[in-house]
Amino acid sequence: MIDPYSMLSDEERAFVEVLERFVRDELMPHAAEVDEQAAFPRRQLSKLGELGMLGANLPEEWGGAGISAPALLRAVELVASGCGSTVSALTAHYLCTDSILFGGNDEQRGRWLPKAAAGSVLGAFALTEPTAGSDPADMKTVARRIEGGWHLKGSKCFISNGGEADIIVVYAVTDAAAGHRGISAFLLESGTPGLQVGLPEKTMGLRGGHVFTLHFDCILPEEALLGGVTGQGFKTAMKTLDNGRVEVAAMCLGIAGEAMRLAANYARERVIGGEALSEKQGIRWMLADMALDLQSARLLALEAARQRELGLRFSGAAAMAKLAASEMAARVTDKALQVHGGYGYTRDLPLERFVRDVRIMRIYEGSSEIQRNIIAAHVLS
């Protein structure tokens, strides 16, 4: 089979090889424990920071690894294959740093991005609200200009890393009459007076990738306004989410790929009536369908990464990649569990965890329904 990542440079391949060893030795052995204890993977994130993975999405100019978009896709896929909770926290961090990269000024980038890339600070991205999920223009969180700064007031929900982060990019309405153009972004440091953090939500999957409700009644300095310009928040958020959707696709590829690997191994080793399970036509067809599904989604994700690398507008490609990969991951992990029979349903094996972990992929960073709307808009444009 042709290597879908053959375009990676020698340096990128070396980066990936180091990451592969880390995933095998450090992430996989502790993934079940993270899930069972619903423990935030801070130690794992710290070690990923030492490897350069917390800055893999950033250019070298701002302390990042400076790797290509296809290499980033592969790197996120690898982390996902080892631990869903860890990759969830990692990609939430990317949403924060991408927001600063795209929307911030040089002073803000210089202050936060090198530290975020090194892993000395963790980021969060606060966009979703109880009544404003799929359409951010419905948000109720507001920021009103006051003497010397801003008064930020409102709530956000389902914010990954929200209670663990050192810096949060918060999106708020600064001009209600301007619609999308009236949204701005703000940098909020943990410990800011008026920031209240709820308990982590008890989620079905990604149980160590904590999500929080955040409440704001905060006075922020003028320099907290991302980029120093109002009305740029929606554009920054949408550009950031294009990246995030490709990274969700990578997460799906990693988890589904590991599920398929386990299913193929089990089918080869499991003997029933003197014959390997892999010799049963029904099982062989299931594995063939899984391989087809996985490779199709990977090629769409690579196309989105290619367009991202070339600096093209890739919203449509990102939506296709995210939709295809998230729907694929549900089918592949379910089939992988089925191949294992009753053993797959037990918590002794990771299959049931994979099924739970991928369920959110069809919801966050824009639901499957929203992705279909984006794709249709591109078809009809």
Provide the annotated active-site residues: 365
DSSP state of 220: E
Nearest CA-CA partner of 72 in 3, 121, 1, 8: 8
Burial of residue 16 (number of CB atoms within 10 Å: 0-12, 13-18, 19+): middle
Tell me, what DSSP letter sits at residue 27?
A: I
Amino acid at 185: A
Backbone angles phi, psi at 230, to 5 degrees: -80, 160
Contacts of residue 305, defined as CB under 8 A and 6 or more positions apart, other chains included, come to: 68, 69, 70, 72, 73, 246
Say how far apart CA 213 and CA 336 lie, in whole Å. Answer: 34
Contact 243, 98 (CB under 8 A): yes
- Give the list of residues 6+ apart from residue 290 with CB closer than 8 angstroms, or none: 256, 260, 263, 331, 332, 335, 336
| Alpha-helical regions (H) of the chain | 10-22, 28-37, 42-51, 69-82, 84-103, 106-118, 233-269, 281-309, 315-339, 351-359, 368-380
For residue 136, the SS3 value is helix
